[in-house]
Amino acid sequence: MRSAVFIIDPHIHMVSRTTADYEMLALSGVVAVSEPAFWAGFDRSPAGFIDYYRQLTEFEPRRAAQFGIDHYCWICLNPKEAEDLGKANEVLQEIPKFLDCPTVLGVGEIGLNKNTPNEAKVFQQHVQLAIDCFNKGSRGQGVEGSRGAGGSGKHHLILIHTPHLEDKLKGTRMILDMLKDFGSAIDPARVLVDHVEEHTIKLVKDAGYWAGMTIYPISKATPQRAVDMIEVFGAERLCVNAAADWGVSDPLNTHRTAWEARRRGHSLETLLQVFYNNPATFFGQAPNFKPRPMKVSV
């Protein structure tokens, strides 16, 4: 399979994958992966989240390094576990200390699952955390951020999960509305809205956010639909991932999409842009992300 030579996998849950998967990714050109915090297949206790964050920030980077892959991650309480507001509050208090870890890129993947009021509340709390912790933390400007009060527009990078299937359009609209309420405290260039499909990609890109497409074997997009979307909506501010996790998923679906684009005659520059330079540019806004955009020389 011919790929874009180098690939950054922008969304993959490596804690659920084997070392054989790491080897396969390395052999197929993946040089860096970004792992959002998400559900573990079962609801955890607050203490379970701390262990999970330590796994993401301490153990997983070492496991990836054995295969020459840089491992980065995101920290949050995922929307599937946001219904219990008491638990959410306990976990939210623990998140700031992890945001300054050397391989953490920002807050994510936050978002909505069933579009409930409690999920929305916890989503807003996470966004506020991304603003406040950036301003108080080592990556901030030392200024106090405040919601909707003409803030600096600087905050930790934010990675957003949009709901599945019938909940996706409504949930995406709710998420974009909630972000809008933060006014200039949120910089759309520092937010990636993931799992977009044909009916949500335009909403996300038109509002100035980055968009992520997820290629799943049985739901979400296919390689063919993803390349259609690149052709219709353009390659700018667009990333592709397989979001491989504990379920039926395939880390090579990112590569299959690159291959489909190649098969249709898209240039090496386009492949490099979508599968390497776009994630490098978005993640590169975090000073600790090392890979830099590359140019093809002919």
* Minimum distance, C-beta of residue 262 to Zn ion, in the bound complex (Å): 26
* Shortest Å distance, C-beta 59 to Zn ion: 19
Q: Smallest gap, in angstroms, from Cβ of residue 266 to Zn ion?
A: 26
Could you please report the per-residue DSSP string of 169-193? Answer: HHHHHHHHHHHHTTGGGS-GGGEEE
Contact 226, 195 (CB under 8 A): no
- Is the distance from CB of 15 to CB of 22 less than 8 angstroms? no
Q: Please state, in angstroms and rounded to a whole number, the distance separating the CA atoms of residues 250 and 262.
A: 19
Nearer to Zn ion, 38 or 210 (CB): 38
70 exposure class (CB count in 10 Å sphere: 0-12, 13-18, 19+): middle
Between 213 and 243, name the residue whose CB sits nearer to Zn ion: 243
Identify which of residues 75 and 185 has a Cβ nearer to Zn ion in the complex. Answer: 75
Kindly state the smallest distance separating residue 39's Cβ from Zn ion, in Å.
8
Shortest distance (Å) from residue 38 CB to Zn ion = 5
CA dist., res. 79 & res. 124, Å (int): 11
**Closer residue to Zn ion, CB minimum distance, 38 or 123:** 38
Are 127 and 182 contacting, i.e. CB atoms less than 8 angstroms apart? yes
Residues that bind Zn ion (CB under 5 A): 38, 243
Of the pair 14, 272, the CB lying nearest Zn ion is at: 14
Which CB, 108 or 145, lies closer to Zn ion?
108
What does the alpha-carbon distance between residue 143 and residue 103 come to, in Å, rounded to a whole number? 23
HSE, side-chain direction, 13 A CA sphere, residue 27: 9
Q: How far is the CB of 241 from Zn ion (least distance, A)?
A: 8
